[in-house]
Amino acid sequence: MRGVYILFLRVLDDVKLRVGGLGEVELEKGLYAYVGSAQNNLEKRLARHRSKAKRLRWHIDYLTASDKVIVEGACAYELPKEYECRIAGLLARIPQKAVRGFGSSDCRCSSHLFRIGGVVEDVCEMVSRAFRSRPMRIF
């Protein structure tokens, strides 16, 4: 399976984390959405995000490895890689806080991580309507 996904993270307390080359990142307590893609082995990528023990490779690994962050769920879409930035652009237009530079070092997006309000299912439904694609999986 391959595609683009939105990973939903719950930050349990305000936290400062050193995130690779991005440096120190401050996150407020709350719900966050991270947009990513896996053009091979999508299931393994999502399982990696749920694991705490891993080599820290991508920005998102630093968050998901933290004891102050839990993965609440994900929705994945069978869409090509370029939709990763399109979905991030959609989320960036919603009034919320973007974590500048997070997950977007290989594209022109301002961020791929957003603090969001609301409900996970509502965000997945909004993306489904915008791109006319049903999620493959929500966990």
pLDDT of residue 13: 97
pLDDT of residue 76: 96
Domains of the chain: which residue ranges?
A: 3-138
The strand pair at 69-77 and 3-11 is best described as antiparallel
pLDDT of residue 73: 94
pLDDT of residue 96: 84
- Cα dist from 19 to 15, 58, 75, 99, 129, whole Å: 12, 9, 24, 12, 33
Classify 85 as helix, strand or coil: helix
pLDDT of residue 94: 86
Classify 112 as helix, strand or coil: coil
**Regions of the chain where pLDDT drops below 50:** none
Tens digit of each residue's pLDDT (9 = 90 or more) over 105-135: 889 999 999 999 888 999 999 999 999 999 9
pLDDT of residue 137: 67
Residue 68 CA from chain centroid, whole number: 16
pTM across the whole model: 0.95
Q: Name the residue type at position 56.
A: L
